[in-house]
């Protein structure tokens, strides 16, 4: 396989599964965590390596090192592997997804932005879901047609905060996830509920279902629910560990132990809460996005800039959501008709958001 994003949490878990099941790793693509990448190179001996910049590439002792977005695309083109695991963070992951599909490869997808920004132009038949929510939906469907689908949210760092204090929260507080440790971007997205908007869009494109919703399940034991035409609803429950969806994405038909089963007596009570716009202002975008899913490119671009500005201390947490909502209103007619227009709209929205006050 080709692993994009090898030093992130998904990448590290993917390599654990690869090692356990003796899956050859043909290429490792990372960002800036050179020390961990060096360890991975020694452990897996990939044919190709790619990092963020030429300067970082010069720090690696490997005969075939590439860098930047062009380097990622070159690695995909050179590799013989039929499977690409795309665990890159952000819009950077879109071109590699497209390139892999055009090369006839299957993409095990953990990069939300590929479908959020360009789902209209990506054939889901080439994809295998790695996000726990979409894996849960796939696991439940088993070839049947759903009446509706629901995914769950943890609620993020501010699920129990007094609402009037959330807007002034500091970055360190937004990054204090109550259930687990993740990268900074996705942790902030969990706090604003942007990640659930994105996951609904992913489900819309991946499964072709238009009746989609999300709710908060604070213990993160239930990941997805599917209601069928007969009125029955089934739920997928599992310990929150990404090794399960990764293992199924790497080895379809897998039928052996990956996780310990959920101990229901230890779980005790389960609780479900609505996602309220007073606590999560971005949730106002749910219905407009479900009506016009191609506008995902606008929300994604605005959110990436807003999150970066928040983490850099340029704007407040409250302003983060305001900026995304303002961008959506300004660019609500920006419906891309081609993949080239996706990249053009992304650039225009980013430029506006970077200058906005």
Note the pLDDT of residue 86.
Answer: 98
Instruction: Answer yes or no: is 67 within a domain.
Output: yes
Note the pLDDT of residue 56.
Answer: 96
| 56 and 73 both lie in a single domain | yes
Note the pLDDT of residue 11.
Answer: 96
- The last residue of one of the domains, among 106, 130, 154, is 130
Smallest CA-to-CA distance from 2 within 33, 32, 23, 31 is with 23
| 197 and 225 both lie in a single domain | yes
Instruction: Answer yes or no: is 355 within a domain.
Output: no
| Enclosing domain of residue 196 | 133-162+179-277
Beta partners for 85? Answer: 3, 108
| 142 and 121 both lie in a single domain | no
Q: How far is CA 194 from CA 138, 156, 275, 319, 321, in A?
A: 22, 11, 12, 14, 9
Taking the CA atoms of residue 273, residue 226, residue 87 and residue 199 in that order, the dihedral angle to the nearest 10 degrees is -50
Q: Hey, is 150 helix, strand or coil?
A: strand
Total residues found in the chain within this entry: 357
Look at the block and give the residue holding tokens 């999560």: 280
Note the pLDDT of residue 143.
Answer: 86
Instruction: Answer yes or no: is 328 within a domain.
Output: no
Instruction: Answer yes or no: is 6 within a domain.
Output: yes
Single pTM value for the model: 0.93
Look at the block and give the residue holding tokens 């908007």: 197
| 117 and 144 both lie in a single domain | no
Check if the beta carbon of residue 183 is closer than 8 Å to that of residue 174: no
Note the pLDDT of residue 178.
Answer: 80
Instruction: Answer yes or no: is 190 within a domain.
Output: yes
Cα–chain center distance at 229 = 29
Instruction: Answer yes or no: is 167 within a domain.
Output: no
Note the pLDDT of residue 183.
Answer: 81
| 32 and 51 both lie in a single domain | yes
| 231 and 143 both lie in a single domain | yes
Query: For each successive 10 residues of the chain (357 residues), what is the average pLDDT?
Result: 96 96 97 96 97 95 96 97 96 96 97 96 96 94 94 96 96 88 88 97 95 96 96 94 95 90 94 97 97 97 97 97 98 96 98 95
Instruction: Answer yes or no: is 284 within a domain.
Output: no
Q: Which two tokens stand for residue 228?
A: 């069928």
> How far is it, in rounded angstroms, from Cα 311 to Cα 351?
18
| 222 and 242 both lie in a single domain | yes
Check if the beta carbon of residue 315 is closer than 8 Å to that of residue 309: yes
- The last residue of one of the domains, among 277, 294, 316, is 277
Note the pLDDT of residue 172.
Answer: 95
CATH of the domain at 20: 3.40.50.720
Note the pLDDT of residue 226.
Answer: 98
Q: How far is CA 308 from CA 40, 160, 318, in A?
A: 28, 24, 14
Q: Which two tokens stand for residue 8?
A: 């992130």
- The last residue of one of the domains, among 277, 295, 316, is 277
| 230 and 123 both lie in a single domain | no
| 64 and 138 both lie in a single domain | no
| 123 and 144 both lie in a single domain | no
Number of domains in the chain: 2
Note the pLDDT of residue 181.
Answer: 75
| 222 and 240 both lie in a single domain | yes
Report which secondary-structure segment, H or E, holds 215: strand 212-216
Please enumerate, as own/partner, the contacts of 242-245 that have beta carbons within 8 Å and a separation of 24 or more. 242/9, 242/10, 242/13, 242/130, 242/132, 243/13, 243/16, 243/17, 244/132, 244/135, 245/129, 245/130, 245/131, 245/132, 245/135
| 92 and 221 both lie in a single domain | no
Instruction: Answer yes or no: is 336 within a domain.
Output: no
């Amino acid at each position: 396989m080709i692993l994009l994003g090898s030093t992130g949490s998904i990448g590290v878990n993917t390599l654990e599964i690869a090692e356990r099941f003796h899956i050859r790793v043909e290429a490792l693509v990372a960002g800036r965590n050179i020390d961990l990448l060096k360890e991975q190179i020694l452990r897996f001996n990939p044919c190709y390596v790619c990092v963020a910049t030429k300067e970082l590439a010069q720090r690696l002792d490997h005969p075939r090192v590439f860098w930047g977005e062009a380097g990622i695309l070159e690695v995909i083109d050179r590799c013989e592997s039929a499977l690409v695991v795309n665990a890159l963070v952000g819009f950077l992951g879109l071109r590699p997804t497209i390139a892999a599909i055009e090369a006839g490869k299957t993409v095990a997808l953990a990069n939300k932005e590929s479908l959020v920004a360009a789902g209209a132009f990506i054939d889901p038949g080439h994809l295998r879901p790695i996000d726990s929510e979409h894996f849960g939906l796939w696991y439940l469907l088993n070839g049947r047609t759903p009446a509706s689908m629901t995914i769950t949210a943890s609620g993020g760092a501010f699920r129990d905060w007094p609402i009037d204090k959330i807007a002034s929260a500091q970055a360190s507080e937004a990054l204090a996830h109550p259930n687990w440790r993740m990268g900074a971007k996705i942790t902030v997205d969990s706090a604003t509920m942007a990640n659930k908007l994105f996951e609904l869009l992913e489900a819309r494109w991946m499964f072709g279902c238009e009746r989609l919703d999300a709710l908060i399940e604070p213990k993160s034991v239930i990941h997805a629910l599917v209601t069928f035409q007969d009125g029955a609803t089934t739920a997928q429950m599992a310990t929150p560990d990404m090794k399960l969806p990764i293992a199924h994405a790497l080895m379809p038909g897998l039928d052996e132990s990956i996780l310990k089963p959920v101990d229901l007596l230890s779980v005790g009570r389960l609780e479900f809460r609505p996602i309220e716009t007073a606590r999560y202002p971005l949730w106002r975008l749910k219905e407009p996005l479900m009506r016009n899913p191609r506008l995902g490119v606008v929300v994604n671009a605005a959110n990436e800039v807003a999150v970066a500005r928040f983490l850099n201390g340029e704007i407040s947490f409250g302003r983060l959501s305001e900026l995304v909502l303002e961008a959506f209103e300004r660019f609500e007619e920006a419906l891309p008709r081609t993949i080239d227009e996706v990249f053009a709209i992304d650039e225009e929205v980013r430029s506006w958001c970077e200058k906005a006050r």
